[in-house]
Amino acid sequence: MTTKPVLKLVRGAAAPSPQVRELDWSILMARAQDGDANAYRRLLESITPYLRAHASRCHRNPSDVEDAVQDILLTLHAVRATYDPARPFGPWLTAIARRRLIDRLRRQGRRRVFETEFEPAHETFADPPANFEDMTDIHKIAAALDRLPPAQREALRLTKIEGLSLKEASAASGMSVAALKVATHRAVERLRRFFSGGSES
Amino acid sequence: MTPTDDLISALAANLRPVRRLRPPLLRATGFLLLAALILAMIALVHGWRPGLLVRLAEIRFALSLAGALLTGVLAAVAAFLVSLPGRSRHWLWLPIPSLALWLFSIGYQCLSFWTPMASEGASPGETASCIATLVLTSLPLSLALALMLRHAASFNPAPVIFAASLSVAGITAAALTLFHPLDASVEILMFNLGTGLLIMLSGAAINMFLSRRAEMPE
């Protein structure tokens, strides 16, 4: 009972045959039906890897696999009176496991109809840096802004980039509203000239 | 310690000894004995239908009665077998031939309801006692089957409910044929299978509701 069965948890791999330990399992289950908690624990611990292998053929996500195994164990517990020790244990266990796995897959299928999967693309587009990356000439814009005279750059930053109103920008910068208007206008003119290929001087 | 190990510890710690179910054929026999007892009691109180022996000589009548009874018996056996994990689901085919026989023999009078029969000698009182027979047979039988097959609820309820309702329908229809000069086989079959379907659907609805609640604990 101390050696654990070798398992392949690879998707699509065959579940290990339960026949080897079936007799042991059958005896343990018969004792568990009589109320032997120790035998029951040993039985459950020993069938869990087998159930896990079974479940991992239906589910990819490890937590789904674990949920399925627990689901099967709970059902086994509920119907343990139906086991007849004169009959093999394997088919009894497999029938319960298969039933639960099919139920789970059906429920999952129903749920997926109402859900949209969260793909990497969704995350990328929601992330601000990802969107700036798309603008190829962001460095050019930064360079052009650097070349503006400080007053014009400040006026442009406050009114166009930060989106403040003229009053707020005037309060923030200490320039008058009229001066801000002129500086912003000149800055935009300059940038336009810069990007249309003309000289900025 | 994974949650699965915790679960195993909890299950083992709360283990109570259970009584093994008796062999399915024995349990089916027990159920059928109960059905026979109910029929015998009705026969004792109500008496057989008038002219039963004469009608039994008619081949169509005899076939219909035998088909209904056989369907009741075989469907009960199928229900007890299918309710156990690891038994073949092909047992569900067991009552199908007798069901075919039964349906074949009642096919010719499809959906002839009780009211037109009244002119042929069945009084309103007869109809009431006929309904009493229906209730007295199908209700205790359904309850007995539900009690005896309750372990299937957490394993695989749908085919078990189907076979059980078929069994009750067969026995009830046979009882009606034996005690009353009316034939309502089609109605009984529809009623019992409809009830079975209703049980399955409400079970599925409750299951969906509960699983949704469990997944979104608000």
* Residue B63: inside a domain: yes
Q: Do B2 and A78 touch (CB under 8 A)?
A: no
Report the pLDDT averaged over residues A63-76: 90
Say which range, A6-15, A129-138, B134-143, B153-162, has the weakest mean pLDDT.
A6-15
Residue B36 confidence (pLDDT): 93
Chain A interface test: which of B2, B4, B89, B160 (most A C-beta within 10 Å):
B4
H/E element holding B72?
helix B59-82
Say which range, A66-70, A184-188, B184-188, has the weakest mean pLDDT.
B184-188
CB within 8 Å of B80: residues ≥ 6 apart: B24, B25, B27, B28, B31, B148, B149
Compute, in degrees rounded to 10, the torsion defined by CA atoms B53, B58, B61, B63: 110
As to burial, measured by CB atoms within 10 angstroms (0-12 exposed, 13-18 middle, 19+ buried), residue B151 is middle
- Going from the C-alpha of A18 to that of each of A25, A42, A98, B58, the distances in angstroms are 9, 15, 14, 56
A62 in Cβ contact with A80 (< 8 Å):
no
> What token pair was written down for A171?
């309060």
Residue B105 confidence (pLDDT): 75
- Going from the C-alpha of A37 to that of each of A8, A29, A181, B31, the distances in angstroms are 29, 10, 85, 33
CATH node for A19-113: 1.10.1740.10
Q: Do A33 and B20 touch (CB under 8 A)?
A: yes
Report residue B94's pLDDT band, with 50, 70 and 90 as the boundaries. very high
CB within 8 Å of B195: residues ≥ 6 apart: B142, B165
Residue B118 confidence (pLDDT): 46
Give how many domains chain B has, as a whole number: 1
Q: Do B12 and A37 touch (CB under 8 A)?
A: yes
Nearest to B11 among A44, A84, A99 (CB): A44
Mean pLDDT of chain A: 80
Report residue A96's pLDDT band, with 50, 70 and 90 as the boundaries. very high
> What token pair was written down for B194?
């409809």
Higher pLDDT residue, B118 or A174?
A: A174
Report the pLDDT averaged over residues B49-71: 81
* Residue B4: inside a domain: no
Report the pLDDT averaged over residues A89-106: 90
Residue B205 confidence (pLDDT): 74
CB within 8 Å of A89: residues ≥ 6 apart: A18, A22, A25, A26, A29, A83
Higher pLDDT residue, B126 or A139?
A: A139
Report the pLDDT averaged over residues A138-151: 83
Please report, as a single letter, which amino acid is at residue A123: E
Report residue A60's pLDDT band, with 50, 70 and 90 as the boundaries. confident
Residue B217 confidence (pLDDT): 43
Provide residues of B within 8 Å CB-CB of chain A.
2-5, 7-9, 11-13, 15-21, 23, 83-87, 151, 154-156, 208, 211, 215
* Residue B8: inside a domain: no
CB within 8 Å of A59: residues ≥ 6 apart: A65, A68, A104
Ranges of each domain in chain A: 19-113, 129-195
Q: What is the topology classification, in CATH, of domain A129-195?
A: Arc Repressor Mutant, subunit A (1.10.10)
Q: Is the predicted pLDDT of residue A84 greater than 50, yes or no?
A: yes
Report the pLDDT averaged over residues B78-92: 91
Residue A11 confidence (pLDDT): 46
Q: Could you tell me the residue range of the domain that residue B82 belongs to?
A: 23-215
> Cα–Cα–Cα angle for B30, B160, A76, nearest 5°?
95
Q: Do B11 and A77 touch (CB under 8 A)?
A: yes
Q: Is the predicted pLDDT of residue B185 greater than 70, yes or no?
A: no
Report the pLDDT averaged over residues A56-70: 87
Residue B114 confidence (pLDDT): 47
Q: Which of A41, A71, A88 shows the shortest CA–CA distance to B85?
A: A88
- How far A124 CA lies from chain B's nearest CA (Å)? 27
Residue A14 confidence (pLDDT): 47
Would you give the end-to-end CA distance of chain B in angstroms? 28
> What token pair was written down for B53?
């022996």
* Residue B186: inside a domain: yes
Q: Is the predicted pLDDT of residue B29 greater than 90, yes or no?
A: yes
Residue A130 confidence (pLDDT): 63
Q: Is the predicted pLDDT of residue A12 greater than 50, yes or no?
A: no
Number of residues written out for chain B: 218
* Residue B3: inside a domain: no
Secondary structure letter of residue B80 according to DSSP: H
B78 in Cβ contact with B94 (< 8 Å):
yes
Q: Is the predicted pLDDT of residue B53 greater than 80, yes or no?
A: no
Report the pLDDT averaged over residues A169-192: 88
Q: Is the predicted pLDDT of residue A55 greater than 70, yes or no?
A: yes
Q: Is the predicted pLDDT of residue B107 greater than 80, yes or no?
A: no
Compute, in degrees rounded to 10, the torsion defined by CA atoms A49, A55, A61, A67: -80
Say which range, A15-24, A79-88, A114-123, B124-133, has the weakest mean pLDDT.
A15-24
B55 in Cβ contact with A63 (< 8 Å):
no
Q: What is the rounded CA–CA span in Å between residue A169 and residue A161?
A: 11
Higher pLDDT residue, B151 or A5?
A: B151
* Minimum CA–CA partner of B153 in chain A: A79
Q: What is the rounded CA–CA span in Å between residue A157 and residue A191?
A: 13
Q: What is the rounded CA–CA span in Å between residue A194 and residue A198?
A: 6
Say which range, A16-20, A149-153, B179-183, B184-188, has the weakest mean pLDDT.
A16-20
Higher pLDDT residue, A109 or A34?
A: A34
Nearest to A66 among B3, B16, B155 (CB): B3
Secondary structure letter of residue B135 according to DSSP: H
Task: Out of A36-45, A162-171, B198-207, give the one with best mean pLDDT.
Answer: A36-45
> What token pair was written down for A50?
């087998």
Residue A19 confidence (pLDDT): 53
Q: Do B8 and A94 touch (CB under 8 A)?
A: no
Nearest to B8 among A38, A73, A91 (CB): A73
